[in-house]
Chain A
Amino acid sequence: NAGVMQNPRHLVRRRGQEARLRCSPMKGHSHVYWYRQLPEEGLKFMVYLQKENIIDESGMPKERFSAEFPKEGPSILRIQQVVRGDSAAYFCASSPTADSGNTIYFGEGSWLTVV
């Protein structure tokens, strides 16, 4: 029973390139969340998606960042024209329904380094 799967685990990009982070939720889970973790800042909520829908994107930067969760396939967090400040760990999480009492399960994270 696989957990939340994220890939790549580590990604290096030069400034100006694009970064794509993928997340496959746990089996049976249709709700996906993306968080960014910076040292000393904890986890910052970015976006909450259900299949083919964005539920809450209040934490997403207005430019260069986008997320999707298509009917088939993994959720993708896309960062265009990366800058050094985008270097962080990005965590994906999933839950089976929108019920707020559900446990949200986290993946192992994707570490993005921008050089």
Chain B
Amino acid sequence: AQSVTQLGSHVSVSEGALVLLRCNYSSSVPPYLFWYVQYPNQGLQLLLKYTTGATLVKGINGFEAEFKKSETSFHLTKPSAHMSDAAEYFCAVRHNQAGTALIFGKGTTLSVSS
């Protein structure tokens, strides 16, 4: 069975500071990995995903994540936080076999202060 652990349910940073949201996964086979963002009372929007190829993945809004198989991690980073980045972020894993569902972590709420 696959699972995702997001370390830290709440992360607070100052505007302009580095954003680091941690995600570790458990999977018996190399999975596909995703980061989604959710703004209040809205659905989820894909930030980026890793399926195959380059392990450093760039996404929207300046975010990127690196797949590290040896550490079973897929941490999300952004060099400089903006106020508009305040939201809830979800890491998700999916088996690379067709016909499987996306399994989410519990989420990390990012707060950005001025």
Contacts and interface: CB of A to CB of B under 8 A. Distances in A.
Contacts, number: 67
B74 interface: no
Contacts of A107: 43
Contact of B100 (A41, A44, A56, A97): A56
Interface in A28-51: 33, 35, 40-45, 48
A85 interface: no
B43 A4 contact: yes
B22 interface: no
Looking at chain B's contact residues, the main secondary structure is loop
B49 A103 contact: yes
Interface residues of A, number: 27
A4 B5 CA distance: 27
Nearest to B103: A45
B96 interface: yes
Nearest to B106: A42
B90 interface: yes
Contact of A99 (B41, B98, B101): B98
Interface residues on B, range: 20 to 34
Contacts of B94: 100
A112 to B, nearest CB: 14
Interface in B48-81: 49, 51-52
Interface in B33-56: 34, 36, 41-46, 49, 51-52
Nearest to B108: A42
A31 to B, nearest CB: 9
Nearest to A92: B43
B104 interface: yes
Interface of A: 4, 33, 35, 40-45, 48, 55-56, 59, 91, 93, 97-101, 103-109
Report, nearest first, the 4 A-B pairs whose CB atoms are least far apart: A42-B106, A106-B43, A101-B51, A98-B98
